[in-house]
């Protein structure tokens, strides 16, 4: 346990920030799952619409350094490729 007042405060701040980051990471995973579910349903137009919405969520979370920008780009690329392969 933290001994100084400064260390106690940093521990509190770290816990608060961790909870916020976990919430955003969960939002990211949900956005990706929505697109995958739309792809599995087989409706290409719906999948494109959901993907367009999810792109902004993925980018904003990558901008906040919750996930690495390359991971965000990789996820978007794979989802886009899966939608294109639906033909």
CATH number at residue 61: 1.20.58.110
* pLDDT reported for residue 75: 97
**Domain enclosing residue 75, as ranges:** 5-84
pLDDT at position 2: 83
Q: Whole-model pTM? A: 0.86
Extract the residue ranges of the chain whose pLDDT is less than 70: none
Q: How many domains does the chain have?
A: 1
What is d(CA 10, CA 2) in angstroms, rounded to the nearest whole number?
A: 9
Burial level of 57, CB count in 10 A (0-12/13-18/19+)?
middle
Residues whose CB falls within 8 Å of the CB of residue 58, separated by 6 or more in sequence, listed in order = 28, 31, 32, 72, 75, 76
* Side-chain half-sphere exposure of 9, counting CA atoms within 13 A: 3
Phi/psi of residue 72, nearest 5 degrees: -65, -45
């Amino acid at each position: 346990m933290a001994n100084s007042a400064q260390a106690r405060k940093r521990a509190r701040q770290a816990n608060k920030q961790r909870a916020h980051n976990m919430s955003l990471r969960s939002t990211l995973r949900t956005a990706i799952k929505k697109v995958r579910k739309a792809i599995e349903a087989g409706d290409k137009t719906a999948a494109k619409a959901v993907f367009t919405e999810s792109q902004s969520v993925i980018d904003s979370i990558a901008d906040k350094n919750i996930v690495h920008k390359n991971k965000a780009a990789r996820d978007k690329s794979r989802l886009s490729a899966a939608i294109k392969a639906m033909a």
